[in-house]
Structure 1
């Protein structure tokens, strides 16, 4: 599937908050969706290369994930939202320190709008609010960890890829089903970020899954979405 073909399958939208914040995103909803709150929602957070204002570049940055969930519609029908972070911001403010990541007290302005978007879409009549999932790669992996900590009641399961989070958030998010992925040879986001977060979750009673690809670097999305059982695990998760 070409990038243009993929983009054409998703409707361009812009979410606007009551205080004027905006966030462009692409939206896909299966034809099977009804007004009976029957389909889950998958949020895909792109990495740095997808930033912009054209509501298209994020589809290239997140294309492997988007294609995966489009092709999964037969067995796992779901709505898909692919928001685009603006060039001058990040999903979460971070300096990408090799040894640690500490979140800021307040979310980035883009994260604030993203949270509002997810809450709004989760209450659409076609969406099952107990089955909202977030998947993010690289900058989006950081964003995934950060999103969980900003509202631990919102997300049913998460898949952070090559990201990192603040260790002090582990007690609040430990019970959220999570499957983290990282390449052991990652030279951009060191693998210790995922290792430490997974260990912290376990220390606080969580049971996260963790897959580390021994010979892989930073670009591991092909490995991730070829992982047996990933989709089945994700769609089996549901908030109480």
Structure 2
């Protein structure tokens, strides 16, 4: 009788857990991380289905674009949130997904905006990490310290400002990320020429992008090929700046990431 009762309790818990999981961006928990120097970073986190703190999981870090900056701790999931949280993707690619939000007035990485540089976007070869990116790295390290992260399977992806940030942070920590998927981003090519890490790159860009020049991604792809990096590039004819819609719809967008391990 007791065994039957325990079985019924387990069944009820499983049923409730399945029904409480929304399968969209509302499933992400709201969190705030305070760095060692007092900087506060808002972020959302999604744990895998049937999460166990006794196991280690891959991590996907998602960096949003400039349009989603703020302090509401919601806008960063406008693009991609539902895709990451879908039942199908959570079932097939279980991972801890972390989506920080960059505050207004800051960026994920240092770069010169066209409005600041005679209409030309420029990426510095050498510049300190931004306050927001330093906070992101410290926050990631805090999860590693908890022992729940598979450190050989940490992945990063981002769009626009987040695509630029993806390139930047991978260059800063060349043996930290197993795979990176920058969408409509850009990077200083000399930094890529000197890249010594094992990170795999899957680059995406719209051919008609009038915000971030697709030539940035074309050049990044060619440079990574020259150094014999693991890289692929997908360009979408006629697509403007919203190439993340196409990238997120790729059937192997997450599958490709999960094939990589350091």
Query: If the length of structure 1 is used for normalisation, what is the TM-score?
Result: 0.90
1:129 paired with 2:151, answer yes
CA contact (8 A) 2:174 2:198 kept: no
Write out per-residue CA displacement over residues 24-80 of structure 1, whole angstroms, 9 at most, x where no aligned residue.
Answer: 1001102422244432111110001110112112122x3xx2222212011111111
Pair member with larger Rg: 2
Q: Over the residues paired in the alignment, what is the CA RMSD in angstroms?
A: 1.9
Aligned to 1:145: 167
- The 5 Å alignment of 1:1-240 reads 6-60=24-78, 62=79, 65-71=80-86, 72-97=89-114, 98=120, 100-170=122-192, 171-172=194-195, 175-239=198-262
Write out per-residue CA displacement over residues 72-131 of structure 1, whole angstroms, 9 at most, x where no aligned residue.
Answer: 011111111110000010001212454642244201111111111122223333221211
Q: Distance in 2 between matches of 1:103 and 1:52?
A: 27
Task: Return closer, same or farther for 1:48/1:130 CA change in 2, 3 Å cut-off.
Answer: same
Shift of 1:7: 4.7
- SS of 1:44's partner is strand
Q: Distance in 2 between matches of 1:23 and 1:31?
A: 25
Q: Which runs of 5+ in 1 are unaligned?
A: none
Shift of 1:166: 1.3
Tell me which protein shows more helix as a share of its residues: 2
Q: Distance in 2 between matches of 1:206 and 1:17?
A: 33
Task: Return closer, same or farther for 1:5/1:176 CA change in 2, 3 Å cut-off.
Answer: closer
Name the count of aligned residue pairs: 233
Q: Distance in 1 between matches of 2:190 and 2:129?
A: 15
Off by >6 Å, runs of 4+ in structure 1: none
Write out per-residue CA displacement over residues 145-183 of structure 1, whole angstroms, 9 at most, x where no aligned residue.
Answer: 011011112111010000001112112256310100000
Q: Distance in 1 between matches of 2:92 and 2:25?
A: 22
Higher RCO structure, 1 or 2 (CA under 8 Å, sep 6+): 1
- SS of 1:172's partner is coil
Task: Return closer, same or farther for 1:126/1:31 CA change in 2, 3 Å cut-off.
Answer: farther
- SS of 2:195's partner is helix
